[in-house]
Amino acid sequence: MNWPYELQIGWRYTRAGRAGRRNGFISFISGVSMLGIALGVAALIIVLSVMNGFQKEVSDRMLSVIAHIEVLESDGAALPDWQAAADKARQNPQVIGAAPFVAAQALLARGDDIRGAIVRGISPNDEASVTDLAARLRDTTLARLTPGAWGIVLGGELARTMGVKEGDKVTIVAPGGQVTPAGMVPRLKQLTVVGTFDAGHYEYDSGLAFIHIDDAARLFRVEGPTGIQLRLKDLHQARGVADQLQQALGPGVNVRDWTRTNRNWFAAVQIEKRLMFIILTLIVAVAAFNLVSTLVMTVTDKQADIAILRTLGASPRSIMGIFMVQGAAAGVIGTLAGVTLGLLVAFNIDVIVPAIERALHVSFLPGSVYLISRMPSDPQSTDIVPIVVISLLLAFLATLYPSWRASRVQPAEALRYE
């Protein structure tokens, strides 16, 4: 018997079993196994797509505030010639924008309320070429930052926490201090709040403030910009471009891309994603190994057929192939159904979730609690392909033992009571 006949008989067994109580039960168990595989695969695709969507949403909000790459002096001092360094960086075809900055940690005080913050000195026009937030606020809020006016733009959450609004005064306590006959005195400077911003990312909304770069250089006593921010054509190439710029600019500077700047957050997201993948894969594994019971029952029911095939010259290997085809067909059908269902939900989750919220009168992501009020989704082939391969592999492994048992059936024993 050649392989096409094994395939034909195995596929017939997959579709058969509708007549009779026993055969109907076997067919029901087979259908449940395929349904379990489909639901497991669909759940895995939907969950990973939603996690990708949340990661993309948070990354977009994060990158609206920070640049793709930062170039800093190794010893933390001012860059000796930031224009030359920026021109050299622009020679890389990926670099499409550059802006100088001065950044330092400081304390912001208003009355008895003191908050720590990152104070970044920027050039509003240059900053607009490297961050989306600055481009959005260049002609409005950031335009009020003029050298010598000592204005400051606060993150919205930071302003609300300190209870300040536009026109109020805040005092910056700069690091270091002045030596006086009375001892070390902290350096203080009063600034006027000229506006606020909301980037949609709590870390920056609650701990970042902008002032003009000239005011920052005077306040923190540096001779010029302490770093350069760079924008790339493709943000996903940031790590490779950062390595290239590190070699081009030499050992005197430190080049950091946005993935290294936020390494802890991305590491946590990746670990969580791997754990969810493992947990949900177990659901697929349980459903796949339900095929074992289905095939064992089929082998028991089809012993007379197996005996007849053996007497007609079928080898044990051919018998094993028939039942492997039956189990693999169930695995393929379940996997394809799961992929179809998972992608259908993942691509339409922005319609499905609001419909469920309206039907149940609930809100899964209330805007007053979460920064993201809608359920994002981003299906990626790098997730879907491994899911399909693992599901098919588990289904194939589940067919081995029942198929082996079928190949060991002795014709004389099987036909004794027929």
Q: What is the 3-state secondary structure (H, E, C) of 189-250?
A: EEEEEEEEECCCCHHHHCCEEEEEHHHHHHHHCCCCCCEEEEEECCHHHHHHHHHHHHHHHC
pLDDT digits (tens, 9 = 90+) for 211-240: 999 999 888 888 888 889 999 998 888 889
What is the percentage of the chain residues whose pLDDT exceeds 70?
A: 84
Q: What's the confidence (pLDDT) of residue 130?
A: 92
Distance CA 415, CA 418 (A): 5
- 373 confidence band (pLDDT: 50, 70, 90): low
Q: What's the confidence (pLDDT) of residue 19?
A: 44
Q: What's the confidence (pLDDT) of residue 293?
A: 77
Q: Exposed/middle/buried for 406, CB within 10 Å: 0-12, 13-18, 19+? A: buried
* Region label for 198, one of left (φ > 0), alpha (ψ between -120 and 50) or beta (otherwise): beta
pLDDT: is 345 or 19 the higher one? Answer: 345
Answer yes or no: is pLDDT of 370 > 70.
Answer: no
DSSP-H helix ranges across 233-315: 238-249, 258-261, 263-301, 303-311
pLDDT: is 30 or 14 the higher one? Answer: 30
The mean-pLDDT minimum among 69-73, 84-88, 286-290 falls in 286-290
Answer yes or no: is pLDDT of 287 > 90.
Answer: no
Q: Which two tokens stand for residue 276?
A: 């969810």
The per-residue DSSP string of 100-120 comes to: EEEEEEEEEEETTEEEEEEEE
- 42 confidence band (pLDDT: 50, 70, 90): very high
Distance CA 169, CA 380 (A): 48
pTM: 0.74
Distance CA 258, CA 69 (A): 6
Q: What's the confidence (pLDDT) of residue 300?
A: 73
Answer yes or no: is pLDDT of 158 > 60.
Answer: yes
Nearest to 309 by CA among 297, 294, 320, 296: 320
Q: What is the mean pLDDT of the chain?
A: 82
Distance CA 123, CA 112 (A): 31
Q: How many CB atoms lie within 10 A of CB 297?
A: 18
Answer yes or no: is pLDDT of 96 > 80.
Answer: yes
The mean-pLDDT minimum among 20-24, 155-159, 249-253 falls in 20-24
**Domain coordinates in residue numbering, the chain:** 3-60+266-415, 75-250
Q: How far is CA 393 from CA 36, 288, 380, in A?
A: 15, 9, 20
pLDDT: is 165 or 406 the higher one? Answer: 165
Q: How far is CA 46 from CA 170, 272, 341, 346, 356, in A?
A: 47, 15, 9, 5, 16
Average pLDDT over residues 311-329: 75
Q: What's the confidence (pLDDT) of residue 337?
A: 92
